[in-house]
A and B are shown apart, each in its own frame.
Chain A
């Protein structure tokens, strides 16, 4: 049986040739992302800013009457609603700030939700209320700070691990490429205005996990080659390592992208932002392992000397030499 080759044998692409360009572009994209987040802001869900969100589906209508809803809900006297389609055309989320005093008296929030849903049902007999979320200011602040803390702790923790398992430069490279991936995903959300809620934090964590996985594979090969080819120039060695792992990179990214793309296309509408974020993250994470995590090692002056001085690295080198010593 003839097997499929995702990458032809002896592929040798000079990836590192474009490293300065790639780095510049990435830096610009990161600055643009930060700028977008700073100016346009993220469309935070009630999870993070508090308030009330009502999700509704208009079962007999092709497109939800967003403009009309804005008018009618706005006229109820609870302030201006934020109304968005999510997923399908006939599904909307209506977000309201919690009225003053709702923190002390939940009845106020209840009354608001009831009034809005009753109005919707009266105006549109085909409406189906899919859910109501009310989050108080205090809880939303907690969710936000805990989410950020979890994200930072995970990023710091894994970078420290990489630092111990490899060298400090590798740890820096890993955290830099994670920051790159997370920043660009934030930028995507600022650009598209997709709702940013707790589930997106989970998506970000998945992206971090995947991107790191990719970085570790490339780093592992770089470490191995650093000990094997002591005289090779660093850029060529990185190219060799990336090319050697290329078919694995392509194969794994394709395998993971497949279910995600299907999830984006056919998956539940509620998790569209969530699946889209993950699919985006896989692409960015794969790119960053090659164009961020690897070239940083050149700039941080990693070379074959990096693995000689310590005893630990020496014993590793020995172990691997044993394996390669047994030539057939």
Chain B
């Protein structure tokens, strides 16, 4: 039990040194750490936003809307495919009700041709089917989403959304955001040091989906006011409508979307001098824009942002350069925000903010300062008490405790963990467990000495008997930590991570390391008397 081969001593000492070394960067002030990281990799613990201050925003995607968008896209490509088929296939009664796309092939003899044209649209790049095709009544097609199609689409959309958000926040400047996907349809954005997230929210909360559609000039204003549109048209809100109506009817098809932009900049309207945004299409988008404007001179076209019409100017002449200007009650800030959003691309899915937390830097700094002070005083008190009660063995326990704290910090830095307020609770618990382990061992040694055992034997039995309770107590904590990690949400997981790391280092330092020191002392001095 007290026998420590040389290789084990070496291994344990190496572990101690490594643990302490990795803790050092986290304990240094930031500017020194930055200096250090120029020479050697210096991983440090991240402080959670509750301690360091900053903003946390949780965004959730509207999944139903995504399914609808997918269905719309399928309808678009279906119509194109049928029109382009040789010979052309006429379809009617197209419906997107109940998450299905259904349509009738007017000429029943073309059902097979229609199916042939449809198949490439309904399978994905991997060759498996995203949609199921069924034909009823001889010529009515019903296309339903199948398999993981919707999930894959969501997955892709969330990945794209993450990139878009990243680009948008980077446009704000020197922030260092953490953007991670959470679950199926959520994205967490954390920005340390930013305590007023208003600008951030204005930027990431907007989908920035830009569309150009022709105004339905044949629409009956009374029907439009009631929100009813003719076949092939839709009614959209139009807050700045010069006619005074709150909405306007636009043609569903034949428009172009604003996702083919190469540039978007804030500017001022040359006539009214109001803030505006200039956009430039890429070559394909520019050609389509030119074609649309050419074919519809003197008509009105609506500029639609996130489902809301921002203006509906008249096309006076075809626009060939692919450059256009969007104006309509912008402020300088909103024009700037819109151009950033347009530049970084539209979000593929609407995101809404479901949780938002911001902590001012003063409160966070105060928390850390007073938290550290309390931790230092508390730990010192424990160290003094341990020394007074257990003497030499108390000092062993104290050294082990200090190394334990360093090792927890070191491992946390190594795995890039974040220390939060609940994490501090985990810290307190593991330090408690480490102290308790040494108390158990030392009390047991005392007991065994009292029973008349010789010193070496008392130490051996003390370690052995105490180890059982230590093992059980720490096993229960490991079980709790694992369950918490599985079932808990963010802050509780922070607690669990610290607890898991802490249990391992606590047992290692409080039992293994102290035993090594005690055994060396016993071997060297062959004590005949032991005060404990």
A residues near B (Cβ < 8 Å) are: 1-6, 9, 55, 57, 103-107, 109-110, 114, 128-136, 138-139, 142-143, 146-147, 149-150, 153-154, 157-158, 161-162, 165, 198-199, 201-203, 205-206, 208-210, 212-213, 216-217, 219-221, 224, 244-245, 247-248, 251-252, 254-256, 258-260, 262-263, 266-271, 274, 278, 323, 326, 328
Contact = CB atoms under 8 A, between A and B. Distances in A.
A256 B435 contact: yes
**Most chain B C-beta atoms within 10 Å of own C-beta, residue among A9, A104, A248, A266:** A248
Is chain B's binding surface mostly helix, strand, loop or mixed? helix
Contact of B379 (A106, A131, A259): A259
A146 to B, nearest CB: 4
A106 B480 contact: no
Nearest to B434: A255
Is chain A's binding surface mostly helix, strand, loop or mixed? helix
Given A219-B472, A270-B363, A271-B424, 19 more contacts: A4-B389, A103-B352, A130-B360, A131-B358, A135-B355, A154-B483, A157-B480, A157-B483, A202-B421, A205-B480, A259-B375, A266-B370, A266-B377, A267-B374, A268-B367, A268-B368, A271-B371, A271-B421, A328-B454
B378 A202 contact: no
B390 interface: yes
**Most chain A C-beta atoms within 10 Å of own C-beta, residue among B371, B382, B429, B476:** B476
Contacts of B472: 162, 165, 216, 219-220
A294 B429 CA distance: 23
Nearest to B366: A268
Contacts of B391: 1, 3
A51 B237 CA distance: 29
A3 B532 contact: yes
A33 B388 CA distance: 39
**Most chain B C-beta atoms within 10 Å of own C-beta, residue among A203, A244, A255:** A255
Interface stretch (B158-166, B329-337, B339-347, B457-465): B457-465
B201 A110 contact: yes
A158 B482 CA distance: 11
B308 to A, nearest CB: 13
A221 B86 CA distance: 88
Nearest to B205: A106
Contact of B492 (A134, A201, A268): A201
A130 B363 contact: yes
B385 interface: yes
B161 to A, nearest CB: 16
Interface in B436-472: 436, 439-440, 443, 447, 450, 452-454, 457, 461, 464-465, 468-469, 472
A150 B450 CA distance: 44
- The 3 lowest CB-CB distance pairs between A and B, nearest first, are A259-B378, A202-B422, A268-B367
Nearest to A162: B476
